[in-house]
Structure 1
Amino acid sequence: MSTEIKHYTVSIYTENNIGLLNRISAIFQRRHVNVESLNTSPSEIDGVSRFTIVVNITESQMKKIRGQIEKQVEVIKAYYHTEEEIIYQQSCIFKMRSNLLFDERQIQNIIKESNARIVTVNREFFVIEKSGRKEEIDLLHRELSVFGIMQFTRSGRIAVTKDEMKISTMLKALHY
């Protein structure tokens, strides 16, 4: 087992119960592991939620953490994957002053070149949305920062595996 620190994306299928997020984050906290990104959402299975968590740790640490996560009563199954095993994205939105859209021609070029899109415009501000890899979003943020960003927010990672996980088959057998 490698002692190399890697980015792991953890997918946790759970029942949707109050307090579970605190218990799962405590597992990482007790081991002094910083969570880089966290997203919770419904999964492909009715009534089952999915946590997607990104961490930078060794595989042996990851295996121990997965074991602790799976001991939680509400957790149905936990998986972890390397960057090469998944397809992933993040989303972000920027709020900018409206006059920039008309006064700074370069902003329109930045939006077009980054494959971002304008989702709303009014007299005071406009909002840009971008989905992509972290590096793409970081680049767009650097380019727009020069003009002054009023507000910015970024989602946690969302990911699917390249290989079939067969979680749906497993859950049907468990009557979910």
Structure 2
Amino acid sequence: MEKQLFTVSIYTENNIGLLNRISAIFQRRHINIESLNTSASEIEGVSRFTIVVSMTEEQIKKIIGQIDKQIEVIKAYYHRDEDTIYQESCLFKIKSDLLFEERQIQNIIKESNARIVTVNKEFFVIEKSGRREEIELLYRELSVFGIMQFTRSGRIAVTKDEMKISKMLQAFNQ
């Protein structure tokens, strides 16, 4: 079996130390986490971890089994890229004078469907949401002008198919 990217969705109680225990499951197997995001989920009082890893399907099945054994974990799932709709977001901070002196920067912003979030005398900030490849392309295009700061979020994803967990938890809460 060959490695591929998987998006892992973990529905949990919101408890201290859980992130550490979940990341240790990957660490013990020497698996690098490509992306990690935690947030509220569609279910009140339930948090959701979205983790991206590169591994074989056999490995991911074992990992999901280990994650599911954690007391605070309600349910863990894994998904292939073709089964999800996903995005990342990023922010670029660039010197303000370039915005007005370099027409090419304005074209890059427009063509990449990025947007200017703020502008002041010293710098301006661009926000871009999209696939990792789109963000990496924008980074390469802007880096020739000098990037003062850059940050990118982890992947956020929803599945194309319905997640059974919502019905399961609604029935449990009634």
Q: Does the TM-score normalized on the shorter chain lie above 0.5?
A: yes
2:169 to 164, 168, 171: 171
Q: TM-score scaled by structure 2?
A: 0.99
Give identity over the alignment, percent: 80
Paired positions, count: 174
Q: Which residue of 2 aligns with 1:27?
A: 25
Structure 2 residue matching 1:152: 3-state secondary structure:
strand
Deviation of residue 39 (structure 1)?
0.2
1:58 counterpart = 2:56: yes
5 Å-filtered alignment, 1:72-83, equals 72-83=70-81
Structure 1 residue matching 2:141: 3-state secondary structure:
helix
Q: Measure the CA separation in 1 of the matches of 2:112 and 2:70.
A: 42
Q: Measure the CA separation in 2 of the matches of 1:171 and 1:108.
A: 48
Q: Measure the CA separation in 2 of the matches of 1:51 and 1:31.
A: 19
Q: TM-score scaled by structure 1?
A: 0.98
Q: Which residue of 2 aligns with 1:129?
A: 127
5 Å-filtered alignment, 1:1-16, equals 3-16=1-14
Q: Which residue of 2 aligns with 1:98?
A: 96
Q: What RMSD, in angstroms, separates the aligned Cα atoms of the two structures?
A: 0.8
Deviation of residue 88 (structure 1)?
0.3
Deviation of residue 167 (structure 1)?
1.4
Unaligned runs of 5+ in 1: none
Q: Which residue of 2 aligns with 1:108?
A: 106
Deviation of residue 61 (structure 1)?
0.4
Specify the code of the residue in structure 2 equivalent to 1:41: S
Unaligned runs of 5+ in 2: none
1:140 to 113, 138, 141: 138
Q: Which residue of 2 aligns with 1:155?
A: 153
Specify the code of the residue in structure 2 equivalent to 1:125: F
Deviation of residue 165 (structure 1)?
1.1
Deviation of residue 174 (structure 1)?
2.1
Structure 1 residue matching 2:147: 3-state secondary structure:
coil
